[in-house]
Amino acid sequence: MTGAPYAGQFLTPGRFAGKVAVVTGSAQGIGQKVAERIGAEGGAVVLVDRSELVHDVARDITRAAEAAGGSAAAVTADLETWAGAEQAVEAALTAHGRVDVLVNNVGGTIWARPYEEYDEEKIEQEIRRSLFPTLWSCRAALPAMLKQGAGTIVNVSSVATRGMHRVPYAAAKGGVNALTRSLAMEVAGRGIRVVATAPGGTEAPPRRVARGPEAESAVEKAWYQVIVDQTVESSFAKRYGTLDEQAAPIVFLASDEASYVTGSVLPVAGGDLG
């Protein structure tokens, strides 16, 4: 055993056999990795993203998933809207008749700057991006799960609820944490678990779909560097995590192995608790 980061070498064959999982924000990054993992463990995965790239990702996952007894399909939808969330869940129900797992992965910092440098429009956009997709998607999936008497929701939050230069994003992810705990309490007696992970900084390939404009001025680049430096310094491991290190706990929490875990927000940030 080395100290090297987890590289996705462990799978649990059949862990999601017979399960239908909706994974949002799955055209790239953590969401894509989670969808790949559930498909490789036998699940029927419905990938949701507003980017058309999600269809290419689903085709790639299908080839590996079918060998494990799983499948993959894609839906394009804008999850910042109720209509988009409803559309995504309806697509899964039409195709499979049920939703066993919902992984809410949409979100992410759009701008990096001191709070006094955010204007009204930017604040509202940050909240819409990182809170409303989870609120809407939970609400859209809940009736089907209640009818089934079973289901698991895994929300992807962030340890940046305590962080520099992204106060609106921190507020949105604080809302995700509150949603997780409150909804878990409300539906635990009806067979539904609601949990979350709180990722720290994560190394990933260059984004194929940008969350927002690139930092252009020297000041903007310096504001973003503050986030990077604080993220590394706050981690006991003094590094960013990998996509596999983020996907593994999400997939565990989504599985029946975590049947006694609900209402919890698990920090996955090398020791940074947020």
Any idea which residues carry the catalytic annotation?
169
Beta strands (DSSP E) in the chain are 20-24, 44-49, 71-76, 101-104, 151-156, 192-199, 265-268
Which tokens sit at 21?
A: 């999982």
**CA-based end-to-end distance of the chain:** 28
The DSSP 8-state label assigned to residue 146 in this structure reads: H
Are the C-beta atoms of residues 250 and 103 closer than 8 Å to each other?
yes
Q: Tokens 């509202």 label which residue? A: 124
Burial of 139 from C-beta contacts in 10 A (0-12 / 13-18 / 19+): middle
The DSSP 8-state label assigned to residue 48 in this structure reads: E
Burial of 8 from C-beta contacts in 10 A (0-12 / 13-18 / 19+): middle
Parallel/antiparallel/unpaired status of strands 265-268 and 192-199 = parallel
Half-sphere exposure (Cβ direction) of 7: Cα atoms closer than 13 Å: 4
C-alpha 114: how far from chain center: 25
Beta strands (DSSP E) in 6-162 are 20-24, 44-49, 71-76, 101-104, 151-156
